[in-house]
Structure 1
Amino acid sequence: MLHTAAEHTVDTILAEHRTPLGADLQMYRNHVLRVLTLSDALWNRLRTAQRTTRQRPSTDGDFLIAATFHDLGIWTEGTFDYLQPSIQLATDFIRGGTECNDRELVASMIAQHHKVRTAAEPANPIELLRRADAIDVSLGFVRHGIPPRTYRDCARTYPSLGFHRKLLKLTVRRSLGHPASPLPMLRW
């Protein structure tokens, strides 16, 4: 699946947020690693079709930062309206001295990862993250060309540990408290 360096980067970043993640640390970590694995699978399909020369997502520092922080605001701010808090966490992390080639790209990747429509051309990191997250959140029902076995293997390597159940509970809770805005993270 992923290179140990990618897992190490994710673990290093998430260690700084161990307290707000609490018992959900491993669950969220696995979601991030599934998204990275699926991003690599999408990238590999494009590379094979000779449509991209971009770096593999799991080896790209900016992509790793965006993927690791993309949903983290759920836990750090205790909200389902988490895009801005997640962007702020990533921005603060980058300002802390982490090497980042494109801060705006990292922010855009997080801001648009729940965009309903296509966010960019398929090889663009924004679109790769959006599609990979959609595949994982849908438990592989949305595939964006990825074979079902790829998702099953990914989920076997990095099990959900209740992540999808947590999303369902958060959706129901948000819907009851904010019926006019049940999914504030969606963008058109």
Structure 2
Amino acid sequence: MSSNDLRNEIEDRLSPWQQQLGGDRAAYTNHVLRVLAMCDLLADDQQPSPSSREEYLTAAALHDIGIWSAGTFDYLAPSCDHARAWLASIDRSDLAEVVVPMITEHHRIRAAGAPDDAVEIFRRADAIDVEFGLLGRFGVPRATYRDLVKRYPDNGFHRALVRLAARRLWTNPTSPLPMLKW
């Protein structure tokens, strides 16, 4: 799938939340594209590549959307609901059994499965991007990550995360990061 086709696939999935995403839309879209590119790199030449598979496209596009759609940093359940609805709308509800764990486990601190499992590939890919490629890169060279950021610029994504986390800390000091799991 070409880069433009991939971007269009993601834009289609995100279009219902264009207004809620507001100024964060380009930042979030590029985060999704970086995560998908990381999935491709981590998938060890799986064919078809993750970025062309519905379960990865849906999980990637909608994994954090609850932040904006529900206006909360406790966003895993709303994100899963949106993913289920998307899959039902395209007659692929069968994929919910893999997409939902991809979303619910993407901030797990420890491994969520074997390295070649879709849930673990997705968890690792998101972690690489959220951590700027500075901590665990799971074998992906730092230069490769930097090239992805050039291709799909940050556009303030990490600033938005910090802003949202600070707001959550202020309003819920005993539960600042409810999406994290051990």
Q: Which residue in the other structure is 2:141 paired with? A: 147
Q: Which residue in the other structure is 1:81 paired with? A: 74
Runs of 5+ consecutive residues of structure 2 not aligned to the other structure: none
Secondary structure of the 1:80 match is coil
Does the CA contact (< 8 Å) of 1:2 and 1:37 recur in 2? no
Does the CA contact (< 8 Å) of 1:131 and 1:144 recur in 2? yes
**What RMSD over aligned residues (CA atoms) do the two structures have, in Å?**
1.6
Q: Which residue in the other structure is 2:89 paired with? A: 96
Matched, 1:65 2:58: yes
Deviation at 1:98, TM superposition (A): 4.4
**TM-score between the two structures when normalised by the length of structure 1:** 0.91
Q: Which residue in the other structure is 1:19 paired with? A: 19
Amino acid aligned to 1:21: L
Show CA shifts across 1:85-131 (max 9, x none). Answer: 00001111112234354211000100000000000111111011100
Matched, 1:34 2:34: yes
Q: Which residue in the other structure is 1:167 paired with? A: 161
Q: How many residues align?
A: 181
1:108 to 101, 118, 124: 101
**TM-score between the two structures when normalised by the length of structure 2:** 0.94
2:170 to 159, 176, 179: 176
Deviation at 1:2, TM superposition (A): 5.9
Does the CA contact (< 8 Å) of 1:61 and 1:100 recur in 2? no
